[in-house]
Copies of this chain bind each other. A is one copy, B any other.
Amino acid sequence: MADAPELFDELDPPPRLMMGPGPINADPRVLRAMSMPLLGQFDPAFTSYMDEVMRLLRQLFRTENRWAFLVNGTARAGIEAILTSLIEPGDKVLVPVFGRFGHLLCEIAERSGASLATIETEWGTVFEASRIEAAIREHRPKLVALVHGDTSTTMAQPLDEIGPLCRRYGALLYVDATATIGGMDVAVDAWMLDAVSVGLQKCLSGPPGCAPITFNARVEEAVLRRKRIERGLASGDATPANAAPIQSNYFDLPMLMDYWSEDRLNHHTEATSMLYAARECFRIALREGQSVRIARHELASRALTAGLSAMDLGLFGDQDHKMTNATGVVIPGGLDGEQVRTRMLDDFGIEIGTSFGPLKGRIWRIGTMGYNCRKQNVLACLGALDATLRQGGHACTPGAAVDAAIAVYRTAGQ
């Protein structure tokens, strides 16, 4: 056996200010939490932490739901756990698509066997509730699946009317709130969202790789019909399914519920360090206070957009429905957007986002998320963009962007 390995150096990531649409810089308190010693998964000290995570997460989601826990994977793992556990082959699912992540919901729903109906709106816009209602009336879906904030377009779909609408027509409503949780309001119970999944790596200022979810009794009932117990685990035989079995073991919500309940029936081995990270993310967000946090993101959005406008840059999309934590910026004609991004990274250590699909090459996406959503970063990003654009030949008044953003903060007393 060859024992002359190629080992590479110790980790030494370069310092970056991550002002893209996520992941962003993790809060140092979260990084510290991840360096804590591990515990066995059934150690009473660890199961207590699991219970605490559930209680913190309920508060973050503003819900009384019994079920609020972590799926061990990146944000799309949470999406797939909910959709694949809910959707039986042939179930009608309606997805209103206003960006890339709506397409992702379609993709996952289809792979779960959904009979899919979609409505689309131009990237940069969101849906009127009446249009979604018309589609529900036409298709009578079992499930409506919707993105809250789609970072691909930086738009946020208003949700407060959609939940009651779905109840009226007997549909379940799933929402992907990955990009908004911790930065914009996500009122699970008040908005009647039946199931929600998120990630840590945006406004919660944690690492990617953990998908907090919640769902209510309506969803619980639907997935428990499909429950069965893993072979080799119970003393007896497998419980026969009384409905179409869930096609994934890893994403089987009834099994995850057994694991997160007092029964603690073994499924996967909970990702200890990521649970530590999630617990700390939730504590930090709740300690600041959600209304304070939401206001902080709103202010940053106003300051950033004022600065961008002062540089004569166009803002992408319907500004009445822009996410407060992400901003689309039209790339001025004659500039190579990727070259600007590379310069920002090389000269200033600042990362801003590129774009996908129909927006590729047309806009940059700037995030003001969580730990990074603060005056100093908004100003640093604008200053760097100002210099980089002028170097690239874009005509704008040096310093005007930073001045405009400072003015917004000053007006707000900061």
List chain A positions with a Cβ less than 8 A from chain B: 1, 3, 5-8, 11-16, 18, 20, 22-26, 31-43, 45-46, 49, 52, 55-56, 59, 62, 72-77, 80, 84, 97, 99-104, 106-108, 111-112, 152, 185, 199, 201, 207-210, 230-235, 238, 245-251, 266, 268-274, 276-277, 279-280, 283, 286-287, 289-292, 345, 351, 354, 356-358, 360
Contact = CB atoms under 8 A, between A and B. Distances in A.
Given A5-B56, A23-B272, A80-B250, 14 more contacts: A8-B55, A16-B39, A16-B43, A23-B40, A23-B269, A31-B36, A31-B37, A34-B34, A75-B268, A104-B232, A107-B231, A111-B248, A208-B271, A209-B273
A36 B31 CA distance: 7
Contacts of A13: 36-39, 45-46, 49
A357 B234 contact: yes
A146 to B, nearest CB: 15
Contacts of A104: 230-232, 249
Given A80-B249, A273-B207, A357-B233, A37 B56 contact: no
Contacts of A291: 1, 3
A interface majority secondary structure = loop
A150 B37 CA distance: 26
A350 to B, nearest CB: 10
A289 B3 CA distance: 5
Given A1-B290, A207-B272, A231 B38 contact: no
Given A74-B72, A77-B250, A232-B102, A209 B207 contact: no
A74 B18 contact: no
A81 to B, nearest CB: 9
B11 A280 contact: yes
Nearest to A268: B74
Contacts of A22: 269
Contact of A208 (B55, B248, B270, B357): B270
B106 A5 contact: no
Nearest to A100: B232
Query: How often does this chain occur in the complex, in copies?
Result: 2
Contacts of A279: 8, 11
B73 A72 contact: yes
Contact of A345 (B38, B43, B249): B43
Contact of A231 (B11, B103, B210, B360): B103
Contacts of A201: 38, 269
Contacts of A37: 13, 15-16, 25-26, 31
Contact of A41 (B23, B42, B59, B232): B23
A149 to B, nearest CB: 15
17 contacts: A5-B56, A5-B289, A6-B55, A8-B279, A11-B276, A13-B39, A18-B40, A25-B37, A26-B37, A31-B35, A41-B208, A43-B351, A80-B250, A108-B250, A207-B274, A208-B270, A273-B277
A38 B5 CA distance: 26
A281 to B, nearest CB: 12
Contacts of A102: 232
Given A77-B72, A104-B249, A209-B271, A5 B59 contact: yes
B5 A20 contact: no
Contacts of A358: 235
B38 A35 contact: no
B31 A232 contact: no
